[in-house]
Amino acid sequence: MSHQLISSISSRRAGRAITDQPIDRETLTQLLQAAHLAPSCANNQPWRFVIVEDESVLSQIKEHLTGGNYWAKVSPAIVAVASRVDLDCQIPDGREYHLFGCGMAALNLMLQATELGLIAHPIAGFKSRPIKEILNIPEDFTLITLIILGHSTQDHGRLSEKHRGEETAPRDRRPLFDVAFWNRFDFVVPKADSSSS
Ligand SMILES: Cc1cc2nc3c(=O)[nH]c(=O)nc-3n(C[C@H](O)[C@H](O)[C@H](O)COP(=O)(O)O)c2cc1C
């Protein structure tokens, strides 16, 4: 049977067991090309990437990860994804598309990394201001995510007990039809529990 995209989508995981083995520029460029082929509103291409593989810049960035992202400290390459609201469609009724576009580009990058046998794990757990300064990202840009790259390893010894469990746990998703509805939006927002107040 021909290779199906769903198999890459299914095998992509936000893995944490990675090694410090370098990733060459050719491979990193392939990941960026995949990201850059993402669709965007009016083809605005709102994504801006900073690919960090210089050892001294990497180590400065790693000082500003949250404690829970200790596992990312061995990463040989990190992609910072930044954008600004005026780089993409702003529809007068309030819709702004730059984050959406960057999300699609980021997923393209992650899926291509999966194809190449790499881990590409997006994180929000970092201090934005100092990292933007280190990377020369202007203040009025949002640093949306850092994508932590690395070769995966079966050695889970560096991971916390919780993360060791998550590394091999089955996919955790809500039932499909809690989030998808035929023909009519049917999501009931859970009511706040008034008895506990
Ligand atoms: C925007 C975003 C921020 C995330 N931030 C973190 C993070 O700071 N640390 C972390 O370990 N994982 C982080 N993750 C990974 C998610 O926890 C993970 O994607 C989710 O649990 C689903 O697991 P899966 O990607 O393996 O299917 C983040 C993912 C996204 C998309």
User: Nearest-CA neighbor of 107 among 96, 120, 117?
Assistant: 120
Question: Considering only CA atoms, which residue is closest to atom 27 of ligand 1?
Answer: 13
Count other C-beta atoms under 10 Å from residue 131's C-beta: 23
Compute CA 130 distance to the chain's CA centroid, rounded to the nearest angstrom. 19
Calculate helix-pair angle for 98-115, 25-36, nearest 10 degrees.
140
Per-residue pLDDT tens listing for the chain (197 residues): 567 889 999 999 999 999 999 999 999 999 999 999 999 999 999 999 999 999 999 999 999 999 999 999 999 999 999 999 999 999 999 999 999 999 999 999 999 999 999 999 999 999 999 999 999 999 999 999 999 999 999 999 999 999 999 999 999 999 999 999 999 999 888 888 766 54
The pLDDT assigned to 188 comes to 85
Name the token pair of 69.
């992202």
For 117-128, what is each residue's pLDDT tens digit? 999 999 999 999
Task: Out of 114, 121, 162, give the residue to mutate to test ligand 1, the one with the largest number of ligand atoms within 8 Å of its CB.
Answer: 121
Whole-number Å distance, alpha carbon 40 to ligand 1 midpoint, is 23
* CB of 153 closer than 8 Å to CB of 71: no
Q: Do residues 15 and 123 make contact, with C-beta atoms less than 8 angstroms apart?
A: no
Residue 21 CA to ligand 1 centre (angstroms) = 22
| Residue 72: how many other CB atoms lie within 10 Å | 22
Cα–Cα distance, 155 to 93 (Å, whole number): 50
SS3 state at 100: helix
Q: Whose CA is nearest to atom 22 of ligand 1?
A: 14
pLDDT per residue over 129-153, tens digit each?
999 999 999 999 999 999 999 999 9
What integer pLDDT is reported at residue 194 of this predicted model?
64
Can you give the pLDDT at residue 70?
98
The β-bridge partners of 101 are: none
Name the region of 12 (left: φ>0; alpha: ψ -120 to 50; beta: rest): beta
pLDDT at 71: 98
Query: Residue 26's CB: how many other CB atoms inside 10 A?
Result: 7
Give the Cα separation of 159 and 141 in Å (integer): 33
Angle subtended by helix axes 128-135 and 55-62, to nearest 10: 160
